[in-house]
């Protein structure tokens, strides 16, 4: 068993708000810290603070909720090396584990059982230069690449990225509108009009709980 601890902002139980398991009751482990500062970030409270929690205690807390779905998120989870060991242990225990990562840090060491939900940062994020495109080679069919769309420039950039990096068929592709910035109906119409091979998603947790912390 991996020993050690992680700096944790919160562990909570909610419905998955994104990805291809949207709506499923899930335990979220939100790690503290992130090297990026995306303009539209909605979890800036996880940049600093948090508490050191032993991995064994994290796993015990997860078990208390009685679900088989776990999402490791942040911040940027991979900024803490012990995150890799935590995910291995969770997978060994039979959990379905997903990792929400910015795509700016190396994913090559992530256990192949873990579902990687990886952003490719669009221009309006302000962090376009942080994309680590080498990560694409480590994506598996179960993984997902998310494009957060804030405007038409983001949309056109994302279309070009899908073609340029040959993402179609490699993994699932997600288009998500920036709430309050990109009209979701307009984005949906563009996707349909261009017949894009992507999954449109709206952040369910924001519709239900208005982005309340711990939901």
Confidence of residue 2 (pLDDT cuts 50, 70, 90): low
CA distance to 29, 82, 197, per residue, from 72 (Å): 5, 12, 26
Q: What is the pLDDT of residue 211?
A: 66
For residue 16, give the CATH number of its domain: 3.20.20.70
Please give the mean pLDDT across all residues of the chain.
94
Q: Give one DSSP letter per residue of 116-155, joined into a string.
A: EEEE---GGGT-GGG--GGGGGG--TT-EEEEEE-SHHHH
Q: What is the pLDDT of residue 190?
A: 98
- Give the model confidence (pLDDT) of 162-211 as tens digits: 999 999 999 999 999 998 899 999 999 999 999 999 999 998 867 776 76
Give domain status of residue 215, yes or no: no
User: What is the C-alpha to C-alpha distance for residues 8 and 38, in angstroms, rounded to an integer?
Assistant: 20
In the DSSP assignment, the letter for residue 45 is G
**Structural domain harbouring 132:** 5-209
On the CB side of 17, CA atoms within 13 Å amount to: 19
Q: Give one DSSP letter per residue of 58-101, joined into a string.
A: HHHHHHHT--SEEEEESS-GGGSTHHHHHHHHHHHTT-EEEEEE
Give domain status of residue 202, yes or no: yes
Tally of domains in the chain: 1
- Give the model confidence (pLDDT) of 59-82 as tens digits: 999 999 999 999 999 999 999 999
Instruction: Find the distance separating the first CA and the last CA of the chain, reported in whole Å.
Output: 30
Q: Which residue has the tokens 């979890």?
A: 43
| Percentage, residues of the chain above pLDDT 70 | 96
Give domain status of residue 131, yes or no: yes
pTM, two decimals, is 0.93
Q: What is the pLDDT of residue 1?
A: 53
User: What is the C-alpha to C-alpha distance for residues 13 and 67, in angstroms, rounded to an integer?
Assistant: 9
Report the pLDDT averaged over residues 20-24.
Answer: 92
Give domain status of residue 214, yes or no: no
């Amino acid at each position: 068993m991996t020993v050690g601890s992680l700096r944790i902002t919160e562990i909570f139980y909610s419905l998955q708000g994104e990805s291809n398991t949207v709506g499923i009751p899930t335990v979220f482990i939100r790690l503290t810290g992130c090297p990026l500062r995306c303009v539209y970030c909605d979890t800036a409270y996880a940049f600093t603070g948090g508490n050191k929690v032993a991995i064994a205690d994290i796993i015990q807390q997860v078990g208390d909720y009685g679900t088989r779905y776990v999402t490791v998120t942040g911040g940027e989870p991979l900024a803490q090396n012990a995150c890799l060991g935590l995910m291995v242990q969770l997978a060994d225990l039979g959990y379905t584990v997903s990792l929400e990562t910015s795509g700016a840090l190396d994913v090559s060491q992530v256990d192949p059982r873990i579902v990687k939900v990886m952003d490719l940062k669009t221009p309006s994020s302000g962090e376009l230069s942080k994309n680590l495109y080498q990560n694409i080679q480590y994506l598996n069919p179960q993984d997902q690449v998310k494009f957060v769309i804030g405007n038409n420039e983001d949309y056109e950039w994302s279309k070009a990225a899908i073609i340029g990096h040959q993402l179609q068929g490699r993994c699932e592709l997600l288009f998500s509108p920036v709430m309050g910035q990109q009209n979701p109906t307009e984005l949906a119409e563009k996707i349909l009009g261009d017949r894009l091979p992507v999954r449109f998603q709206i952040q369910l947790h924001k519709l239900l709980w208005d982005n309340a912390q711990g939901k």
